[in-house]
Structure 1
């Protein structure tokens, strides 16, 4: 009696890794090997680094599932899984700038060629328009009623998110020399280089406030109060109704050239109401909710980048011209810094669980860094 030969059976300890590898190849699951590209090694600070071919001139944004969306100078918008796998990429003409995520999951962004793009969360093109030769590099604003707002060539650009049709906001808007900044509901803010305006999609101008110099974009706190930095180094607080609450004037910076700029960039509000802002040529400032200086973290030889990401535990993350990503506690103490291979000029974004910081570098890489909690 003869027996048919049977294939040898692999022990279970070999089958499990093969199963995981197959799942990774097919679905890009989080159990896959993390990419290890760019500067540094995977360890206490770095989770992974992913090459996007060209320098990253965009601040990432993260959806509720933890997927990351970021633009690159290679003209692509990328969707990346939390484990660093590219899910899809979409190409349009021009440098791809910072995206926003709509309530329905659509990805909205502009390009360096003046295009306004809306993609589905799966990377399919919903619509695109080229309303101007140049659009603001900030992430577009999406209002409660579903209107997409940006600016370009001194005018407001507005479209319905659903179908891409133009949405007429009004004919009496002043010249717009800033990005568009989000307000509550259908309100938004912008500037004409001297005044800050509050506007409503259907009701028009709500108020204006004279700043009398160029200024940063405003940031809102939970009460609707606005904070902005000015070219002449003032921190200005304005109520939701357009009234001055207070302002803090910073002292001049000792310099060999009195004409060197000393602007205070866009402020950010921390979880306890403290305010943080980078001052050009000096460093990172912290202020109380009433505008009193708490501390100053002085920069090294090269300036800090102005865009901050603040975690729920108060940790502050930002890049620098000298290639580093900094993590600084709410008390102004350096927690860590991570060295990339080139400048880090755009901001970072935190994962929904606050455990990971995603930030891009001019060294062509998106980095996932541990967002450490403060030690007790």
Structure 2
């Protein structure tokens, strides 16, 4: 999301380091669905599972061949949860489905609540989380629910005061999940009772400090990002803040990825990849990108991979911050001149458009084949979906 046109003035394209230092990602295969993919993919030993905004849910082979497709009512903007018995996916109609992984048939379905889109930049639904015989999920009506894997029976629910589209995370006996109301909640996973809640600081335009993505838990600490421009380090037992990192003039929507003793994350308006010390949240380095980052980075060997809204995959050295574009979608190449001039700045009419018609400008950005969702690292592959409805697989080698 862009607060105003001035944000873009003076932001250069990423400085490219010599290509001899970076290997371009080899595209294994791509699978076209023709409807935007904002959720992530999940995999088992046999298949890769994902859905798109048109409600099509797919199982494909690891070489990108379709095994089955199931048409569901309601958009799919979340990442499936995989168990040995079923694949679980939720939709924009507040439905949860258990699906046979071999046949692509519905085992059971359950209406859990109501969904809504919070605003223009709310591209996601909460993704289901499985632990033992239970599944946990957030909903647009503000409820966090725990259901039985056997039939979807609701075992408990907790009501937040606004939409919950973040994905739950469990550590020990606690479930951590954020809401668009700006609170991070710690709940008892067994009964849904509140342990504590932490109120994020808001920004001028977004005073709630909305939380869109999942937290990262490491030891006794929970790390959470928000639209209020902050990354927080919070005590997992007490909910007390230990440290914070402030990003001037920009949301931090993407969840951080832990690499050694550092947290790496992408930003929105400031268009950066940053590395901060996990203990102090003091910055180690930053790398400039060409567009906002909403997805969590993926670490692989000495690098981390981030995807951008202008249809690129960026490789960043986790130690030095040296960065390079290693892939760009064909749609991005073909439509780039609609957004940028030859010098790599936003075109003047784009800046004006952001001031007068933000929705139209966002639609133009999506023409670049925006990578907006989460990626999957699986069997030496990086797998990403984009706004043009294409799922890409890139070879990174086995680790």
Distance 2:302 2:95 in 1: 36
| 1:225 matches 2:221 | yes
Distance 1:320 1:62 in 2: 23
Q: 8 Å contact 1:218–1:227 — kept in the other structure?
A: no
Q: Deviation per CA, 1:70-109: give whole Å up to 9, x if none.
A: 1123321111111111111111112222233244352111
Instruction: Name the structure where helix makes up a greater proportion of residues.
Output: 2
- Within a 5 Å distance, the mapping from 1:1-376 to structure 2 comes to 45-63=26-44, 65=45, 67-122=47-102, 123-134=104-115, 137-169=125-157, 173-178=159-164, 179-185=166-172, 187-192=174-179, 193-203=181-191, 204-213=193-202, 214-216=209-211, 217-241=213-237, 242-250=239-247, 252-253=248-249, 262-282=250-270, 283-290=272-279, 291-300=281-290, 303-330=291-318, 331-340=320-329, 341=331, 342-351=369-378, 353=379, 355-371=380-396
Distance 2:92 2:64 in 1: 26
Considering Cα pairs closer than 8 Å and 6+ residues apart, tell me whether 1 or 2 has the greater RCO: 2
Decide whether aligned partners of structure 1 residues 228 and 201 sit closer, same or farther in structure 2, where only a CA change above 3 A counts: closer
- Indicate the residue corresponding to 1:39 in structure 2: none
Q: Name the larger-Rg structure.
A: 1
Question: Alignment partner of 1:168: what SS?
Answer: strand
Q: Deviation per CA, 1:105-129: give whole Å up to 9, x if none.
A: 5211111222211112222212112
Which sits farther off after the overlay, 82-91 or 113-122?
113-122
Q: 8 Å contact 2:133–2:149 — kept in the other structure?
A: no
Which sits farther off after the overlay, 338-347 or 95-104?
95-104
Question: Alignment partner of 2:74: what SS?
Answer: coil
Question: Alignment partner of 1:163: what SS?
Answer: coil
Unmatched tracts of structure 1, length 5 or more = 1-42, 254-261
Distance 2:53 2:142 in 1: 24
Distance 1:198 1:365 in 2: 36
Decide whether aligned partners of structure 1 residues 191 and 97 sit closer, same or farther in structure 2, where only a CA change above 3 A counts: closer
Distance 1:218 1:163 in 2: 26
Q: 8 Å contact 1:235–1:248 — kept in the other structure?
A: yes
Q: Deviation per CA, 1:301-341: give whole Å up to 9, x if none.
A: xx233112423425322322212122222132225421112
Distance 1:187 1:143 in 2: 12
Displacement of 1:276 after TM fit? 1.6
Distance 1:194 1:57 in 2: 22
Q: 8 Å contact 1:143–1:185 — kept in the other structure?
A: no
Q: 8 Å contact 1:71–1:96 — kept in the other structure?
A: yes
Q: 8 Å contact 2:215–2:224 — kept in the other structure?
A: yes
Which sits farther off after the overlay, 145-154 or 114-123?
145-154
Decide whether aligned partners of structure 1 residues 212 and 75 sit closer, same or farther in structure 2, where only a CA change above 3 A counts: same
Decide whether aligned partners of structure 1 residues 102 and 56 sit closer, same or farther in structure 2, where only a CA change above 3 A counts: closer
Unmatched tracts of structure 2, length 5 or more = 1-23, 117-123, 203-208, 332-368
Decide whether aligned partners of structure 1 residues 44 and 347 sit closer, same or farther in structure 2, where only a CA change above 3 A counts: closer
Distance 2:262 2:85 in 1: 31
Question: Alignment partner of 1:158: what SS?
Answer: strand
Decide whether aligned partners of structure 1 residues 359 and 66 sit closer, same or farther in structure 2, where only a CA change above 3 A counts: farther
| Aligned residue pairs, count | 316
Decide whether aligned partners of structure 1 residues 224 and 109 sit closer, same or farther in structure 2, where only a CA change above 3 A counts: farther
Distance 2:228 2:30 in 1: 38
